[in-house]
Amino acid sequence: MRAYDGNNWSNWVNSTALTIRGETECNPPVIGEWNISSSDNVRCKNITITLNGNLTILGNLTFKNVTLQMNSSYNGEFVINNSGRFIVNSSNLTSVLTNGTGQYEFWNLPGSKLEIYYTNISYLGHNDITRANNMQRGLFVNTNDTVIKNNRIITSDAIADSNYNIYLYQASNNTIFNNFINSSRVSGANTYSHGILISTLSDNNNFTLNSIFVYSRNSKGILLQDSSNNYFERNNITVDNDGYSSGFYSDNGTNSTLINNTIISYYASADPEGAIYLYMSSGNTLRGNNISIFGGAANNGRGLLVDGTNKQHYNHSIDSSNILDGKSIYYFFDNNSQTIEDKADIALLYYTYSANITIKNNNLTIEGIKLINIENSSIYGNNITVTQHKKTSSIELVNSSFNSISNNSIDRATESNQIGIYLRSDSHDNIIKSNAITTGGYQCQYCDGIYLASSDNNNISDTTINTAYYDSEGIVLDNSNNALIINVTINTAYTGGTNAYGIHLLGSVNNTLTNSTISAINAADIYVNGAGNTVFINTTFNKSDTTFAAGATGIITVKWFLDAYVNDSVGNNISNVNVSSYNLSSDFIFSSLTDATGRITRQTLTEYMQNATSQYFQTNYSINTTLAETSNNTQSLNLTASTTLYIQLNYIPNIIDVNLTSNDNLNRTNGLALLAIMTQTMELQD
């Protein structure tokens, strides 16, 4: 027999040399379909086959040192369809066209058997034609007990998107061992081209010693979906791409075991997911995994990310033998009344569903501290200095309340999306006090100092915030209400852009800043976006530097303190003097009596209110000072800063009666002249 490769015929080969007793002759067709019937047992060895049709296997087919070229003229024209038993050893499965336009498909359907050893598989899979369960996208395994061992699997460098090297669908008890897997690479174009996809009740599979390289956007080295009890050991995964990418991503995976895997992530731009990302998954075990993150100027990688919607999604066993950039990952679940202190080997610290935790005096340089569903805990005196490429927050609270974050030093030196302190998802009633926060450095975009998202009743005080790059805001209140911000200094110092706002108010209500300072260079000190209202009391900022976004309906109110002190001309305090005030519209504002020290109760008065349309002033104020049996005195006050009024009364009291009595029964008052002063004078001075 001889084979046709689409252009030329091969030399004649004695077909009897390909036949073994009990086996059917290896006699592929020159043109058309090659069907291995259910009664066939075909063994092919040392031959090149160019197939101009589908290969359908219902019986047994064995390849040894065979090159099979699928001569598709377009993607998906021809298919290897295995419903029988297919054993491939030391062979080459490929396509005639190597430009990505003639990719073939490889299906292994329920009940079939597949074993592949020491074989090169290339130019496989596409997304031009949609098949059931996306079986067109790679080496599709929809059966059990498969062995794929010691192979080299490279899909294509020309496929645009959505291609998988190995795709397990409802496939269990399979062994994927020591394979070299290289996904397609098309710069800036590929999306969702995963190294291995394990999907939909694919359970109890073993993945060991595989080397996986992933280059396309939004792609995973290993993607596990809706599957349980899978085992991953000593795999080497390299992710060199951008978008939402991960080395290992578990989506609703349960009871997986990851031991001694190595994951290297090179991220070219923003928005990567964790090198290991456990999403809505539970019961997973991580031991001895080694993660390294690298990236360019615009990117931010993350080592471990755990996320979900209920408590069980955080129930994992992850010990400190897992390493991120040379330091340990600490992960705790449902662990109460514990203290972590004085550690310098922490890359990332996770606490989930715990209470009464103390985290103090630790040094972190890789990522930071993340608390999920934590209550009544203290984060105190930690030094968090991040100089590497991590899309993380130094301290992040998720659905965590009644905690104290105090006396921490935070320095986010490089890269973007690095928030100093981030409270989100209903993190209420926390105290943030006496922290020093610096974000900035080289291209630290979106490096906000403090960000509150959907978190109410939080108290921020005695804190200094410095940012130094565009879009890096001092404080952001994002749909967060009733925040009390006291004695906070905000400096945003980026000169090359306009979005490094001092404070950004986004749909937040009833927030108050008191005794604070806001300074934004080349950006608005105050930026209002959406609805809401915020009051600034005795807070210094550039009053001409408040910006409202298009369509914003929010309001800011600027207020100052007023103190008044009343004494007489020789400096004596005068009590019970009535000090009252009316605003510019003659609305009554307050009335207060001086106390024994001559002072009134401190008043807080409005200078102006501002919305997107205009400023509405309440100053100047009329200040009235009245003492019993005297006339009123009124003066005008233009209130543009906190003010103390000093009011002096030149005042001599009435002396109505004088009774002089000698206590020795001798009349010693005879001849004394008594001047009765029956009048008084008053003069107001300020």
Q: Which residues does residue 486 pair with via DSSP β-bridges, in sequence order?
A: 461, 514
> Residue 299, class by beta-carbon neighbours within 10 Å (0-12 exposed, 13-18 middle, 19+ buried)?
buried
Q: Which residues does residue 364 pair with via DSSP β-bridges, in sequence order?
A: 346, 384
Query: What per-residue confidence (pLDDT) applies to 191?
Result: 75
Query: What per-residue confidence (pLDDT) applies to 299?
Result: 45
Q: Which residues does residue 438 pair with via DSSP β-bridges, in sequence order?
A: 411, 466
Q: Which residues does residue 57 pair with via DSSP β-bridges, in sequence order?
A: 36, 82
Could you write out the three-class secondary structure of 109-169? CCCCEEEEECCEEECECCCCCCCHHHHHHCEEECCCCCEEECCEEECCCCCCCCCCCEEEE
Q: What is the DSSP letter of 600?
A: P
Q: Please identify every stretch of the chain with a pLDDT value under 70, giving residue numbers as ranges.
A: 1-22, 157-161, 184-190, 267-272, 295-300, 387-390, 413-417, 441-444, 495-497, 629-632, 650-686
Query: What per-residue confidence (pLDDT) applies to 273?
Result: 76
Query: What per-residue confidence (pLDDT) applies to 654?
Result: 54
Q: Which of 344, 347, 319 is nearest to 332 (CA)?
A: 319
Query: If you count them, how many residues does the chain have?
Result: 686
Residue 253 identity: G
Which residue bears the tokens 């069980």? 312
Query: What per-residue confidence (pLDDT) applies to 92?
Result: 98
Q: Classify domain 554-686 at the CATH topology level.
A: Immunoglobulin-like (2.60.40)
Q: Give the count of beta carbons closer than 10 Å to the beta carbon of residue 528.
A: 28
Question: CA–CA separation, 579 vs 172, rounded Å?
Answer: 84
* Domain chopping of the chain, boundaries: 339-500, 554-686
Are 167 and 137 spatial neighbours (Cβ–Cβ below 8 Å)?
yes
Which residue bears the tokens 């592929």? 28
